[in-house]
C-alpha cells in the first residue's frame, strides 16, 4: 500500500486583507478580495512535503471542499510540491462537521497513514474540522502540533498548549492539526508553477460522495466589533506613571 499523506486545504481571505462587513449584515465582502491558502494549511502541506522528502511518505495529496475558484489555491499547492489534488465541488460553504464527513469519504478512498490539517481556518476561526474528522474516523488526534516525529506505525507529536508544550504518542493513521511554529513554508518558484499545470487535479461533485450538505448553524447577522477609541498621549515615563496612578491601575 502506498504511504500517503492527505492535507486539507481551505481557500480563505488572505490574512493581510482588512475585511469589510456587508452593509446589510449578512456576511463579509468576498467579491474582488484577495484569496489565499489558509496559512495553517500551507504549514500542513510544507510538513507533508518534508516528510516525503526524507522518504517518510510516497505521495502527498491535497484536498479541498469549495467552489470552482478553489482550483487556483490547489494549483499553488501543486506548485509547492503536492503530487495530486482533489477538489470536492461545493458552491455553498460547508460547516466543519460536514467538511469532516466529506474528508472522511476521501480518506476511505485514499487510505492515508497521516492526515494533516491546519489548527484553524482564519476566516471562520472554528478550529473544529481535524478533531471532528478524528472522531468520525475513530482515530487519534494531535492538535496544535509544533513538532512531528514519525516512527514505525506511530508518531510523537509536540503540541502547543496553554501551559507550554505537551508531547503525545499516537498510533497511525492519525489526524494532526498544525500550529504556526511547526515550520516555515517554502516559496513557490516559477518553473514549479508551470509544472503544476500538468499535475492531476480531480474534481468530484459533492453529490457523488453521498454526504448531505447539512447546515446546522444559521447566521443571524454579522457586525463589526465594538471599536476602541484612540486615547491620550503622554510625554514621558513620569507622566505615564502619574496617569496610571491617578486611574488606580497600579494597585489592585
Partner 1 sequence: MSASILIVAEHDGTTLGAGTARCVACAATVAQAEITVVVCATDASAVARQAAALRGVHRVLTVEHPIHAHPLAAAIAPQIAALGGPYTHVLGPSSTFGKDLMPRIAALLDTAQVSDIMAVEGPHRFRRPIYAGNAIVTVEVPADTKVVGTVRTASFRAAGVGGTAQIEKIDAPVEPPSHTRFVSTSAAKSDRPDLQTAARVISGGRALGSAEAFQMLYQLADKLGAAVGASRAAVDAGYAPNELQVGQTGKIIAPELYVAIGISGAIQHLTGIKDARTIVAINKDPEAPIFEVADIGLVGDLFEIVPQIEKLL
Ligand X SMILES: Nc1ncnc2c1ncn2[C@@H]1O[C@H](COP(=O)(O)O)[C@@H](O)[C@H]1O
Ligand Y SMILES: Cc1cc2nc3c(=O)[nH]c(=O)nc-3n(C[C@H](O)[C@H](O)[C@H](O)COP(=O)(O)OP(=O)(O)OC[C@H]3O[C@@H](n4cnc5c(N)ncnc54)[C@H](O)[C@@H]3O)c2cc1C
Site for ligand Y in 13-72 (CB under 6 A): 15, 39
- Shorter beta-carbon distance to ligand Y: residue 13 or 211: 13
Kindly state the smallest distance separating residue 154's Cβ from ligand X, in Å: 22
Pairing state of beta strands 11-13 and 35-37? antiparallel
- Distance between CA 155 and CA 64 in Å, rounded? 25
Asked whether position 124 contacts ligand X by CB under 6 A, the answer is yes
Of 17, 30, 35, 122, the residue at the interface with ligand Y (CB under 6 A) is 122
Binding partner selected for residue 189 from partner 1, ligand X, ligand Y, none, CB under the kind-specific 5 to 8 Å limit = none
The SS3 call for residue 167 is strand
Q: Does 117 bind ligand X (CB under 6 A)?
A: yes
Q: Is 231 helix (H, G, I), strand (E, B) or coil?
A: coil
Asked if residues 37 and 92 have their Cβ atoms less than 8 Å apart, the reply is no
Closest CA to 9 of 56, 52, 71, 53: 71
Beta carbon of residue 21, minimum distance to partner 1 (angstroms, whole number):
6
The 10 Å Cβ neighbour count of residue 87 is 21
CB 5 within 8 A of CB 52: yes
From candidates 72, 111, 181, 208, binder to partner 1 by CB under 8 A: 181
Q: Which of 1, 32, 162, 198 binds partner 1 (CB under 8 A)?
A: 162
Q: How far is CA 251 from CA 13, 240, 241, in A?
A: 43, 15, 12
Interface map 2-41 toward ligand X (x if CB under 6 A): ------xxx---------------------------x-xx
User: Does 144 sit near ligand X (CB under 6 A)?
Assistant: no
157 binds ligand X (CB under 6 A): no
Cell readout for 212 is 448531505
**Site residues (vs ligand X, CB under 6 A):** 8-10, 38, 40-41, 44, 63-66, 94, 96, 99, 117-118, 120-121, 124, 126-130
Amino acid at each position: 500500500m502506498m504511504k500517503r499523506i492527505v492535507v486539507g486545504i481551505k481557500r480563505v481571505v488572505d490574512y493581510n486583507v482588512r475585511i469589510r462587513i456587508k452593509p446589510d449584515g449578512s456576511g463579509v465582502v468576498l467579491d474582488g478580495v484577495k484569496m489565499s491558502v489558509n496559512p495553517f494549511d500551507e504549514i500542513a502541506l510544507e510538513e507533508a512535503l518534508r516528510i516525503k522528502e526524507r522518504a517518510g511518505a510516497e505521495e502527498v495529496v491535497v484536498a479541498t471542499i469549495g467552489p470552482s475558484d478553489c482550483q487556483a489555491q490547489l494549483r499553488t499547492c501543486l506548485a509547492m510540491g503536492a503530487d495530486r489534488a482533489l477538489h470536492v465541488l461545493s458552491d455553498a460553504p460547508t460547516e466543519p462537521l460536514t467538511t469532516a464527513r466529506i474528508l472522511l469519504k476521501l480518506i476511505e478512498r485514499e487510505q492515508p497513514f497521516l492526515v494533516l490539517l491546519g489548527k484553524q481556518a482564519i476566516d471562520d476561526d472554528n478550529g473544529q474540522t481535524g478533531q471532528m474528522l478524528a472522531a468520525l474516523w475513530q482515530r487519534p488526534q494531535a492538535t496544535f502540533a509544533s513538532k512531528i516525529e514519525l516512527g514505525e506505525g506511530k508518531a510523537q507529536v509536540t503540541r502547543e498548549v496553554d501551559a507550554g508544550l505537551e508531547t503525545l504518542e499516537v498510533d497511525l493513521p492519525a489526524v494532526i492539526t498544525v500550529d504556526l511554529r511547526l515550520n516555515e513554508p517554502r516559496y513557490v518558484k516559477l518553473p514549479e508553477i508551470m509544472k503544476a499545470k500538468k499535475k492531476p487535479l480531480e474534481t468530484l461533485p459533492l453529490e457523488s460522495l453521498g454526504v448531505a450538505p447539512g447546515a446546522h448553524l444559521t447566521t443571524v447577522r454579522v457586525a463589526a466589533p465594538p471599536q476602541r477609541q484612540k486615547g491620550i498621549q503622554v510625554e514621558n515615563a513620569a507622566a505615564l506613571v502619574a496617569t496610571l496612578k491617578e486611574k488606580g491601575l497600579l494597585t489592585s
